[in-house]
Chains A and B, each alone.
Chain A
Amino acid sequence: MLRFVPIITLFFMVGPVSAGLIGTILPSFGTLPALGGDGASLEPWRTLLAQPGLDHSIRLSLINGLAATLISVVIVMLFCAAWQGTRVFRMLQRLLSPILSVPHATAAFGLAFLIAPSGWIARLVAQVAGWDRPPDLAIIHDPLGLAMIVGLVIKEIPFLFLMTLAALPQADTDRTAQVTASLGYGRITGWFKVTLPRIYPQIRLPVLAVLAYSTSVVDVAIILAPTTPAPLAVRILGWLSDPDLSYRFMASSGAVLQLGIVLVAMGVWIGGEKIVGALGRNWAVDGRRLPHDGWLRHGAAILAIVAAGAVILGLVVLLVWSIAGFWAFPDVLPRNFSLRLWAREFDALGDSLAVTLMIGVPSVLVAIALVLGCLENEVRTGFRPRKRVMWLIYLPLLVPQISFMFGLQVFFTLVGLDRTLFSVVLAHLVFVLPYVFLSLSDPFRALDPRYGQSALCLGASPNRVFWQVRLPLLTRAVLTAMAVGLAVTVGQYLPTLLIGAGRFATVTTEAVALATGGDRRMIGIYGLLQMMLPFAGFALALLIPAILFARRRGMGGNNRI
């Protein structure tokens, strides 16, 4: 049985993506029998290309996606180069891990509340500058989409940082840094010349995933991006939700176009990699050392801390708004506080939490079981998957959600599973699986194999070794992976909305739905609500092993190779 688990797992990731893509491409050429489209036609494409401002939407998606990715990568690389192995580095490491669990939409709302013309920052400036009304500036939904870039950057930094962190030990970075320093290189230059080329191949897939996400994101764009016109992905969702069903054909063409945009963005990025690589090879050996890079190091630290601070302050301001009474501009705090809204919404909040868990718990349980099966199979057969398999694991993160979720909806309708809990869970699983796998595979593979060998030689069966030795030793890693999985399912917007066809009101779909209304107190409540489950998950992942193994000091981190 166990040896089929890797295939089943891949099927759950690759299957929906493929079915979804087919279900998107066919209607984009007029084939969707359910809606009376049964011939091949270019009509959907003609309608799409006739949409006003389409070129503007495309440009927004492409440029903003590339810009957000580039800025995130540069900040993370600069920060790692400048501070790796120091106290500042470890401090930020502790700060960024919990930030990773903040859903994108929550972070975007928090940012909006900070930087909006009537946001916290403007209120602080107003105290000094003496403003009595908010400045007349379009900071949120600004025409260039700068707010959206910032919103993406503050959420992608923690992800890329943690991915880099996982790659660092394989490049023997601490000793490399000592060598470059003794040769007279400044920290940053030494790191960029020697360490970066070694670790970049390992973070390349995560970077491309960030690029695909930033180029096609919907929920963050609804909250922060320009609206006239909006980035392409947001417009596609609008067409999909239109009561006029004939819009679905054009929407499919749009979704295929979105896939094309992501591919173009990846092409541009990979071309950029090649150019930087070629230039870098000369630069690496030109002997320039930039030994005094204190200004750059501090700049990198400030950028990273501002990015982390924006998320954290954003959460604080969400909290303040959720309990705010009357709060006039330019007051820094509300005149009075009230739990009235929380009390009024109490039942509704409970319902959306319940729906979120109803989808999340089965997704996480199935994902952890499959991933454990894959990893246990590796141990028992002694075969590790080739590097290429990593592309398949990343596939759901590299294909834009909007490009296959509509098609998947079409597919589920075809097999009579539309709008069921089962199909929503399957759709979430597509994204939960890769993250759970990425989170658990490193600690699982790092467990000293001699524990298992010793246990086998003591006469324990392979199953007993798994349940009584490997699994308990990995308690913390397994729970953390489950918490990551939970954070992923809680944050899913499009799959819940499209596959559930609006039947499943989770904390995230409710929160994003509030974006257009602009009721800040309600947004504050739902933004925080989105945070509660991921935070609870990570808290349990810390707490449970601490309680279980309170009297086992050896359960720290030293049972690794």
Chain B
Amino acid sequence: MSNTQMKSGLELRDLSIRLGDRLLVDVDLVIAPGEIVTLMGPSGSGKSSLLGHICGTLPPVFDVRGVVRLNDTVLDGLAPQDRHVGILFQDDLLFPHLSVGGNLAFALPSSIRGKTERRARVAAALESAGLAGFSDRDPATLSGGQRARVALMRVLLSEPGVLLLDEPFSKLDRGLRDQIRSFVFDLARQNGLPTLMVTHDPEDGQAANGRVIALD
């Protein structure tokens, strides 16, 4: 992730999403590596369908035009698992049947081989999130803030080329929100990830300290 000069970031070229004859989203946007762009809009304005389209998980009933490029690779037509698009939802969606470490190992690419090596990578990720020694814990026993941090580490371990945030802080307690926000934003910048956040909370946009685009 260090060589950010070579990367052009996330490009959304003339991208529009329709459902029936209703226009949900219409954007033309480039997000540079390490840049955080906020899309503001009320719920139901189709922000989540935009993220779904970038992930490749949008159901085919939507009518989408335009091009999505990540570091000069066109994503359209690629399977979701081949896109290297990381996404965080407002729920952490940690898999409840796996341990904390299991959740992180799930995300770790299979190219990292050997039990010891994989365990070490998981432990290092937990340590950098201030959660050293949490590997064997049941995710259900973690606090909201701890779960949010595990969820971010899980995304980062999958070595994404871009980070998408779908109202990721709206379910956190107010006190915790600032702390998790800066945790996510700092790591996104450190990793040079172009980051697209959709939210209806103006504070999220201010905290991101980047471009804010309003959707109608």
Assess the A553–B55 pair: CB atoms within 8 A.
Answer: no
Q: Which residues of A contact B1 (CB under 8 A)?
A: none
Q: Please tell me if B57 contacts chain A, counting CB pairs below 8 Å.
A: yes
Q: Please tell me if B144 contacts chain A, counting CB pairs below 8 Å.
A: no
- Taking the closest CB of chain B, its distance from the CB of A509, in whole angstroms, is 40
Complex Cα gap A475–B95 (Å): 13
Assess the B80–A453 pair: CB atoms within 8 A.
Answer: yes
Contact of B81 among A381, A459, A468, A553 (CB under 8 A): A459
Assess the B93–A552 pair: CB atoms within 8 A.
Answer: no
Assess A457 versus B59: contact at CB under 8 Å? Given A451-B95, A473-B96, A473-B97.
no
**Per-residue interface assignment for chain B, residues 173 to 215, with 1 indicating a CB less than 8 Å from any chain A CB and 0 otherwise:** 0000000000000000000000000000000000000000000
**Per-residue interface assignment for chain B, residues 86 to 119, with 1 indicating a CB less than 8 Å from any chain A CB and 0 otherwise:** 1101010111110000000011010000000000
Complex Cα gap A434–B89 (Å): 35
Q: Please tell me if B85 contacts chain A, counting CB pairs below 8 Å.
A: yes
Q: Size range of the interface on B?
A: 35 or more
Complex Cα gap A459–B78 (Å): 12
Complex Cα gap A483–B141 (Å): 31
Question: Residue of A at shortest CB range from B61?
Answer: A382
Q: Which residues of B contact A554 (CB under 8 A)?
A: 94, 96-97, 138-140
Q: Please tell me if B60 contacts chain A, counting CB pairs below 8 Å.
A: yes
Q: Please tell me if B47 contacts chain A, counting CB pairs below 8 Å.
A: no
Identify which of B61, B81, B94, B139 gathers the most chain A CB atoms within 10 Å of its CB: B81
**Per-residue interface assignment for chain A, residues 446 to 477, with 1 indicating a CB less than 8 Å from any chain B CB and 0 otherwise:** 00101111111111111000001100110100
Complex Cα gap A176–B97 (Å): 36
- Taking the closest CB of chain A, its distance from the CB of B99, in whole angstroms, is 8
Assess the A454–B97 pair: CB atoms within 8 A.
Answer: no
Question: Residue of B at shortest CB range from A464?
Answer: B81
Assess the A450–B93 pair: CB atoms within 8 A.
Answer: yes
Complex Cα gap A382–B93 (Å): 20
Question: Residue of B at shortest CB range from A448?
Answer: B93
Question: Residue of A at shortest CB range from B141?
Answer: A553
Assess A459 versus B95: contact at CB under 8 Å? Given A454-B89, A468-B106.
no
- Taking the closest CB of chain A, its distance from the CB of B102, in whole angstroms, is 10
Contact of A459 among B56, B59, B96, B109 (CB under 8 A): B109
Q: Please tell me if A228 contacts chain B, counting CB pairs below 8 Å.
A: no
Assess the A456–B81 pair: CB atoms within 8 A.
Answer: yes
Q: Which residues of A contact B81 (CB under 8 A)?
A: 456-457, 459-462
Question: Residue of B at shortest CB range from A549?
Answer: B97
Q: Other than the known A454-B93, A459-B84, what 10 A-B pairs have Cβ atoms closer than 8 Å?
A: A382-B59, A382-B61, A455-B95, A455-B106, A457-B85, A457-B158, A458-B155, A459-B158, A462-B79, A552-B139
Could you pull out 23 A-B pairs where Cβ atoms are within 8 angstroms? A381-B60, A382-B61, A450-B89, A451-B93, A453-B57, A453-B87, A456-B55, A457-B87, A458-B86, A458-B106, A459-B84, A459-B107, A459-B109, A460-B81, A460-B106, A473-B97, A552-B96, A552-B97, A552-B139, A552-B140, A553-B96, A555-B97, A559-B96
